[in-house]
Amino acid sequence: MTFAAAAPLPARTPTVPSKLPHVGTTIFTVMSQLAAEHGAVNLGQGFPDFHCDPALVDAVTQAMQAGHNQYPLMTGVPALRQAVAAKIEALHGRTYDANAEITITAGATQAILTAILATVQPGDEVIVLEPCYDSYVPNIELAGGKVVRVPLTPGTFRPDFGKIAAAITPRTRLLIINTPHNPSATIWTAQDMRTLEELLAPTDVLLISDEVYEHMVFDGAEHQSAARFAGLAARAFIVSSFGKTFHVTGWKVGTVAAPASLTAEFRKVHQFNVFTVNTPVQYGL
């Protein structure tokens, strides 16, 4: 069978309706590029201007040489999950089951997105306290949720619990808090956390507690993790970051601690989101 020569068909890329029509390039990408172009100090992103501890690099290298180069468990390397659970218990007095309640993630940003996708149904409301990390709002929109913005107190950036209470409705699924706070560095006090615990007690509102700067606390202040408060821990995804803690942001490894029932839903999404996380880095950490 032969075919007559024909004029080439025009190449056309179909248009795609944007799922995030109001979102452009993240400000962190823009800031970092401008800082590099102008030789400026980059205060826009959470990484330092010094190298990480060489022992970390050696530990990851040794893990590679020992053959830890294939997929780990979807939930994360057991030894690392056990270490995370032990750290939380030592610092905050809360016991988590490393097998059922601790998950290793591809950084804290993935952890936050996965927690939102696992819990927010289309039309659910999610309260964010502004100013906030720039991934929160797009993540909520990707899940089909409605963003409810509550401003922090001007000047002090402390939570206004009256405004938070007024924002809670029967449609509220989730509240996101961040302490120590990005970008203001405000730290929630124990009284703040107790007030939030009392406020949420009669509700079914879930909590994402973004605690990636937990170990960067100075001037005698003390980080108050949601893990310290039973009423918060029972409804919270507590998000931490090895990248921030060990100054290795490019390794993109985070962790989520949550009750077993919440972790089960989190892992349903996690397994089809990234499935698992860099094996030798987990062993090195």
pLDDT of residue 8: 82
Residue 123 in any domain: the answer is yes
What CATH number did the domain enclosing 271 receive? Answer: 3.40.640.10
Residue 117 falls within a domain, yes or no?
yes
Q: Is there a contact between 176 and 129 (Cβ–Cβ < 8 Å)?
A: yes
- pLDDT score for 148: 99
Number of domains into which the chain is organized: 1
For residue 32, is it within any domain?
Answer: no
Query: What is the residue range of 117's domain?
Result: 98-217+226-277
Q: Tell me whether residue 126 is in a domain.
A: yes
Do the domain assignments include residue 112?
yes
Q: What is the largest CA-CA distance in the chain?
A: 84
Per-residue pLDDT of the chain (285 residues; tens, 9 = 90+): 666 667 788 888 999 999 888 887 777 788 888 888 988 887 777 777 788 899 999 999 999 999 999 999 999 999 999 999 999 999 999 999 999 999 999 999 999 999 999 999 999 999 999 999 999 999 999 999 999 999 999 999 999 999 999 999 999 999 999 999 999 999 999 999 999 999 999 999 999 999 999 999 998 999 999 999 999 999 999 999 999 999 899 999 999 999 999 999 999 999 999 999 999 999 999
In a domain, 87, yes or no: no
Instruction: Report if residue 27 sits inside a domain.
Output: no
**pTM reported for the whole predicted model:** 0.92
52 assigned to some structural domain: no
